[in-house]
Amino acid sequence: MVSIRYTDQQKLVEKSAEELKKVIKSPEWSTYVKTGISRERPPEQKDWWYLRAASVLRKVSLDGPVGVSRLRSYYGGRQRRGHKPPRSKKGAGKIIRTILRDLETSGLVKTVDKPKRGRAITPKGQKFLNSVAKQLK
pLDDT tens, residue by residue, 30-82: 888 888 778 877 787 888 999 999 999 999 999 879 989 899 899 888 888 89
What's the pLDDT at 115?
79
- Rounded to whole angstroms, the Cα distance separating 13 from 55 reads 6
Q: Report which DSSP code applies to 8.
A: -
Q: How confident is the model at residue 1 (pLDDT cuts 50, 70, 90)?
A: low
CB 88 within 8 A of CB 76: yes
Q: Are strands 118-121 and 77-81 parallel, antiparallel or unpaired?
A: unpaired
Distance in angstroms (rounded) separating the CA atoms of residues 74 and 90: 8
Quick check: 14 and 58 in contact, CB under 8 A? Answer: no
Which pLDDT score is estimated for 96? 92
% of the chain beyond a pLDDT of 70: 99
How much is the average pLDDT of 11-17? 92
CA–CA separation, 77 and 62 (whole Å): 21
User: How far is the C-alpha of 54 from the C-alpha of 16, rounded, in Å?
Assistant: 6
Q: Which run of H or of E encompasses 111?
A: strand 109-112
Q: Which residues pair with 118 in a beta bridge?
A: 112
pLDDT, residue 91, reads 86
Domains of the chain (ranges; CATH) run 4-136 (1.10.10.10)
pLDDT tens digits, residue range 47-61?
A: 899 999 999 999 999
pLDDT (0 to 100) of residue 4: 85
**pLDDT attached to residue 108:** 93
Alpha helices in the chain, H assignment, sequence order? 9-20, 48-63, 68-74, 93-105, 123-136
Q: What is the pLDDT of residue 103?
A: 93
At 13 the pLDDT is 92
- pLDDT reading at 2 higher than 80: no
